[in-house]
Structure 1
Amino acid sequence: TNALIGVISTVAENKYFLIAASTKLVCYFTNWSQYRPSSGKFTSGNVDPFLCTHVIYTMATVGPDHQIATVEWNDEIMYKNLNNLKNVNPVMKTLLSVGGVFMGYSPFIDMVANAANRATFIHSALLLVRTHNFDGLDLAWDYPGHNGSNAEDKERFTALIQELRAAIEQEALDTKKTPLLLSAKVAALRSVIDIAYEVREISRYLDFISIMTYDYHGSWEKVTGHNSPLFKSYLDKGSHMYHNIDASVSYWISNGAPAEKLLLGFPLYGRTFLLSSTETALGAPANGPAAAGPYTREAGYWSYYEICSFVSMAKVGWIDEQSVPYATQGNVWLGYDNKESYSAKVHWLNSMNLGGASVWTLDLDDFQGQFCSDGAYPLLLLQISVTGFPPKPTTTQPPTTTPNPITSFCTGKPDGLYPNPADETTYFQCFRGNTYLQYCQPGLVFIDGCKCCNWP
Structure 2
Amino acid sequence: MSYDLRGNWAGFADTHSPLYKRPHDQWAYEKLNVNDGLQLWVDMGCSPKKLVVGIPFYGRTYTLSRGNNNYNLGTYINKEAGGGDPGPYTNATGFLAYYEICTEVMNKDAGWTKQWDEQGKVPYTYKGTQWIGYEDPESVQIKMDWIKSKGYAGAMTWAIDMDDFHGLCGPKNPLIHILHANMKSYEVPEPTVTTTPRPEWARPPSTKSSDSTKPASTTKRPDEWEPSTTKRPGTPSRRPPSTTSSQGPAVPSTSVPSAATTTATPAANPTTASNSNEIDYPTECKGDFMPHQDCDKYYRCVHGKAMVFSCKPGLIFNTGSSVCDWPSNADRERCKEA
Give yes or no for contact 2:155–2:183 (8 Å, CA) kept in 1: no
In 2, the alpha carbon distance for the partners of 1:391 and 1:245 equals 23
Q: Does 1:244 align with 2:42?
A: no
Q: For structure 1, which segment, 335-344 or 284-293, has the greater mean C-alpha deviation from structure 2 after superposition?
A: 284-293
Aligned partner of 1:297 in structure 2 is: 91
Matches within 5 A, 1:273-352: 273-276=62-65, 277-288=68-79, 289-312=83-106, 313=110, 314-352=112-150
User: What is the CA distance between 1:334 and its match in structure 2?
Assistant: 0.5
Letter in 2 for 1:291: D
Q: State the 1:379 CA deviation.
A: 1.5
3-state SS, counterpart of residue 157 of structure 2: strand
Tell me which amino acid in the other structure corresponds to 2:98: Y
2:28 counterpart of 1:268? no
Partners of 2:101 and 2:16 in 1: CA distance = 13
> 2 CA distance for matches of 1:236 and 1:341?
19
Calculate the TM-score normalised by the size of structure 2: 0.50
Of 367, 378, 384, which residue of structure 1 is paired with 2:174?
378
Aligned letter for 2:150? Answer: M
Calculate percent identity across the aligned residue pairs. Answer: 34
Given the alignment of the two structures, is residue 231 of structure 1 paired with residue 27 of structure 2, yes or no? no
CA positional deviation for 1:244:
0.5
Residue in 1 that maps onto 2:315: none
1:273 Cα deviation from its structure 2 partner: 0.8
CA distance in 2: counterparts of 1:235 and 1:308, whole angstroms? 26
Unmatched 5+ stretches in structure 2: 187-338
The structure with the larger Rg is: 2
Displacement after TM superposition at 1:390 (Å): 7.3
Per-residue CA deviation, residues 157-205 of structure 1 (Å, 9 max, x unaligned), is: xxxxxxxxxxxxxxxxxxxxxxxxxxxxxxxxxxxxxxxxxxxxxxxxx
CA distance in 1, matches of 2:105, 2:21: 24
Match of 1:96 in 2: none
How many equivalent residue pairs? Answer: 177
Deviation at 1:367, TM superposition (A): 2.0
Q: In the alignment, which of 362, 366, 369 is matched to residue 160 of structure 2? A: 362
Looking at secondary structure, tell me which structure has more helix per residue.
1
Shift of 1:222: 2.1
Larger RCO: 1 or 2 (CA < 8 Å, sep 6+) = 1
Q: CA offset at residue 351 of structure 1?
A: 1.0
Shift in Å at residue 221 of structure 1?
A: 2.3
Q: Distance in 2 between matches of 1:391 and 1:258?
A: 21
Task: Indicate conservation of the 8 Å contact 2:64/2:78, yes or no.
Answer: yes
RMSD (Å) for aligned C-alpha atoms: 1.6
- Alpha-carbon distance in 2 for matches of 1:323, 1:228: 9
Q: Is 2:57–2:98's contact at 8 Å kept on the other side of the alignment?
A: yes
Q: CA deviation at 1:375?
A: 2.4
String of CA shifts for 1:301-335, please: whole Å, max 9, x gaps.
Answer: 10111111221241110011111110011111110
Provide the C-alpha distance between the structure 1 equivalents of 2:174 and 2:102, rounded to a whole number of angstroms.
11
What is the TM-score normalised by the length of structure 1? 0.38
What's the CA shift string for 1:70-116, capped at 9, x where partnerless? xxxxxxxxxxxxxxxxxxxxxxxxxxxxxxxxxxxxxxxxxxxxxxx
- Tell me the amino acid that sits aligned with residue 385 of structure 1: H
- Cα-to-partner distance string for 1:209-245 (whole Å, 9 max, x where unaligned): xxx1000111122221111000111111111112110
Amino acid at match of 2:22: S
SS of 2:60's equivalent in the other structure is strand
Structure 2 counterpart of 1:376, one-letter code: K
Aligned residue type for 2:160:
L
Structure 2: how far apart are the matches of 1:216 and 1:389?
Answer: 24
Q: Are the equivalent residues in 1 in contact too, given 2:154–2:183 (CA < 8 A)?
A: no
Q: Which SS does the other structure have where 2:155 is aligned?
A: strand
Q: Secondary structure at the match of 1:242?
A: coil
Matches of 2:35 and 2:104 in 1, distance apart?
28
Give, in whole Å, the separation in 2 of the partners of 1:310 and 1:248. Answer: 31
AA in 2 matched with 1:299: T
Q: Which amino acid aligns with 2:12?
A: V
Looking at structure 2, the residues matched to 232 and 328 of structure 1 have their Cα atoms a distance apart, in angstroms, of: 22
For 1:384, give the aligned amino acid: L
Partners of 1:318 and 1:339 in 2: CA distance: 13
Equivalent residue of 2:62, what SS? Answer: strand
